[in-house]
Amino acid sequence: MKQKVNYNNEIKNSQDQKFYTKRATVQALEAILYEPIKVLDHGFIRVIDYMGDDSAIVQSARVSYGKGTKMLNQDKGLINYLMRHYHTTPFEMCEIKLHIKLPIFIARQWIRHRTANVNEYSARYSILDKEFYLPDPKNIEIQSQSNKQGREGTLDSNQSKRVLDILREDALRCYDNYMDLLNLDEETGEIKDTNKEGIARELARMNLTLNYYTQWYWKIDLNNLLHFLRLRADSHAQYEIREYSNKILDIVSKWVPYTYDAFINYRKESVNLSKTGVEIIKKMIQGHSVSEENSSMSKREWNEFNKLFLK
């Protein structure tokens, strides 16, 4: 079979390098630098590089020298204040670069977040590996009736097996045709028939299904990363991108633990209330009875409010 790229030597060589630096480093992140963190069936995330830590956020907020106050409670309190009041620019002083391997259909959803620097594996230049994503049967669900871009309710085992068979057969057939269009032998990666020409790689790639894996380097500042995670690590996000987001969230907890705690408290696990919602909360505290009819809310907003505070 065509040889897959083996990152083991690259990872070991990268980890064996030693550099002297005066810049801030984070030991918990250094410990996992370059290591692939498994996601889905063939995907991974690797931390390639980073700049800054919690103290860099504090330092930029105070525009001070060194590590600021060196009093941990004050630094943590300032980060909480910045997060709570949406003072975002100090968080932009930290950056991280990740190597990510992910299914193409997730990459196309991911790239909608346009606040990162991205360099993707080029299928115009190289041949894609024969690796495609197949969901776990428990994650094969039917179309949601209430959410046009969501899913809900699992299929029975026979239906799930049929779906997986279709996905697998289509992916394998498309890859066979992909190699045929390139005029390459799938086992060796060498030219298959010397009497014919393969078409250009940039054209042959059109034939592959969206569950094939691609890779990219993705560099982003911490403020925009947290915005990404607030949306994609949410329970309403698609399962597959949520799996990647949860792994990145764990990386953030190692990298900037104070910021991570503030993000969980003031963003991820918090709620936003409208002016009407605040007025209803005040009425409830004062002992007044509130219902959908006298709430001045739409049915959808009332249902969301009811789910959060009244059930």
- Residue 267, annotated ligand binder? no
- Residue 178, annotated ligand binder? no
Q: Which backbone phi and psi does 68 adopt, to 5 degrees?
A: 70, -135
Closest CA to 102 of 218, 186, 206, 228: 218
Supply 47's token pair. 């931390």
- Residue 114, annotated ligand binder? yes
Q: Give the pLDDT confidence score for residue 264 in this predicted structure.
A: 96
Q: Give the pLDDT confidence score for residue 170 in this predicted structure.
A: 96
Is residue 243 within 8 Å of residue 37, measured between CB atoms? no
pLDDT digits (tens), the chain, 311 positions:
455 556 677 766 666 677 777 788 899 999 999 999 999 999 999 999 999 999 999 999 988 656 555 567 788 999 999 999 999 999 999 999 999 999 999 999 999 999 999 999 998 888 999 999 999 988 887 776 766 666 667 778 888 899 999 999 999 999 999 999 999 988 888 888 888 889 999 999 999 999 999 999 999 999 999 999 999 999 889 999 999 999 999 999 999 999 999 999 999 988 888 999 899 999 989 988 888 888 888 988 888 888 888 76
Q: Give the pLDDT confidence score for residue 7 in this predicted structure.
A: 66
Residue in the structure block whose two tokens are 């190597």: 99
Q: Which backbone phi and psi does 83 adopt, to 5 degrees?
A: -65, -45
Is domain 1-133+212-270 classified as CATH 3.90.1150.10?
no
- Residue 232, annotated ligand binder? yes
- The yes-or-no answer on residue 232 being catalytic is yes
Q: Please identify which of the residues 23, 168, 232, 267 carries the catalytic annotation.
A: 232
- Residue 111, annotated ligand binder? yes
Q: Give the pLDDT confidence score for residue 42 in this predicted structure.
A: 96
- Residue 226, annotated ligand binder? no
Sort strands 141-143 and 117-120 into parallel, antiparallel or unpaired: unpaired
- Residue 15, annotated ligand binder? no
- Residue 85, annotated ligand binder? no
Contacts 24+ apart (CB under 8 A), 143-152: 147/236, 150/236, 150/238
